[in-house]
Amino acid sequence: MAKIKLNHQVALDKKHTRMTKPSLQVILTPAIAHLYDMKGSCVVVVDILRATTSMCFALHNGAKSIIPVQEVEEAEVYRLKGFAVAAERNGIQLEGFAFGNSPFSFTPAHVKGKEIVFTTTNGTKCIQKAKDERAEKILLGSFLNLDALIEELSNAQWPLFIFCAGWKEKFNLEDTLFAGALVASLRDYYTIEDDSSEAAEDIYKIAKDNLEQYVQKASHSKRFDRLGIVGDAPFCVKLNLTRVIPELVGDRLIVKKT
């Protein structure tokens, strides 16, 4: 009798474990973010070209923290207070600010020990959106910290949203590609039932053997070409240069403590 009960219990536990796996969903663009309930979830904001890559790299290179702001006017207030500010719109560094958004700008010599304020066309808006929606945890993803992030997220505690920044509300390839890389590695830990995740993983499967070549297709890579921005896109698909995971704590992104 006791044995039957035990087996039954094990079966129930297994089922329970399966049923309580949190969900993973990919938000393909900010334009549809209102369709998802981020409250109490973990949100990974993704802007591969280039905001979340540059922020990861700045923290990796010793920046003390990053203060993401949505509007140029807010960034200007910080600039007047003496902060180092990165300000980009349409791929171009705004005049009068210390940095644009190229990862190559955020070297140890330029960022070590500093608090860097960032405003970018799409990425910083999505960080703010996740905060406004009261996500429990907000992390930044990039190919630079892919494995560290997968390790962190495999300890699935909350529903997970991979929030692609896109370009001015539209879908983009590079963020979806990265979302697909996460989906491919996190399947065992989450319940995945949305078509966005499936599509993202399909894109990743097509691209994974040559990310650099695939990302050349992206409209933003073509924009870089037109703007004479050389080398940024290939750098932004480099894998696992860092273990740093930026996490929003209050108003600042800091290195997540593990």
Q: Give the interface with ligand 3SL as residue ranges (CB under 6 A).
A: 47, 49-51, 88, 91, 101, 120-123, 165
In the bound complex, which residue of the shown chain has the CB atom lying closest to ligand 3SL?
A: 120
Place of tokens 């802007």: 47
| Distance in angstroms between the alpha carbons of the first and the last residue of the chain | 45
- Give least dist CB 192 to ligand 3SL, A: 27
- Give least dist CB 45 to ligand 3SL, A: 10
Distance CA(146)–CA(137), nearest Å, equals: 17
- Give least dist CB 172 to ligand 3SL, A: 9
Q: Which of 99, 16, 28 is nearest to 57 (CA)?
A: 99
For residues 49 and 140, which CB has a smaller minimum distance to ligand 3SL in the complex?
49
Q: Which of 86, 80, 4 is nearest to 52 (CA)?
A: 86
For residues 94 and 156, which CB has a smaller minimum distance to ligand 3SL in the complex?
94
Taking the CB of residue 131, how many other CB atoms lie within 10 A of it? 17
- Give least dist CB 243 to ligand 3SL, A: 22
Note every long-range contact of 105-113, with CB atoms under 8 Å and residues 24 or more positions apart, other chains counting: 105/54, 106/54, 106/57, 106/58, 106/61, 106/63, 107/61, 108/61, 108/62, 110/84, 111/58, 111/61, 111/62, 111/63, 111/84, 112/61, 112/62, 112/63, 113/62, 113/63, 113/64
For residues 123 and 159, which CB has a smaller minimum distance to ligand 3SL in the complex?
123
- Give least dist CB 218 to ligand 3SL, A: 11
- Give least dist CB 174 to ligand 3SL, A: 10
For residues 50 and 60, which CB has a smaller minimum distance to ligand 3SL in the complex?
50
Residues near 181 by beta carbon (within 8 Å), at least 6 away in sequence? 143, 146, 204, 208
Q: Which two tokens stand for residue 99?
A: 């940095």
For residues 100 and 159, which CB has a smaller minimum distance to ligand 3SL in the complex?
100
For residues 95 and 188, which CB has a smaller minimum distance to ligand 3SL in the complex?
95
For residues 162 and 186, which CB has a smaller minimum distance to ligand 3SL in the complex?
162
Place of tokens 């590695």: 185
- Give least dist CB 165 to ligand 3SL, A: 6
Sign of CA dihedral 214, 216, 217, 220: positive
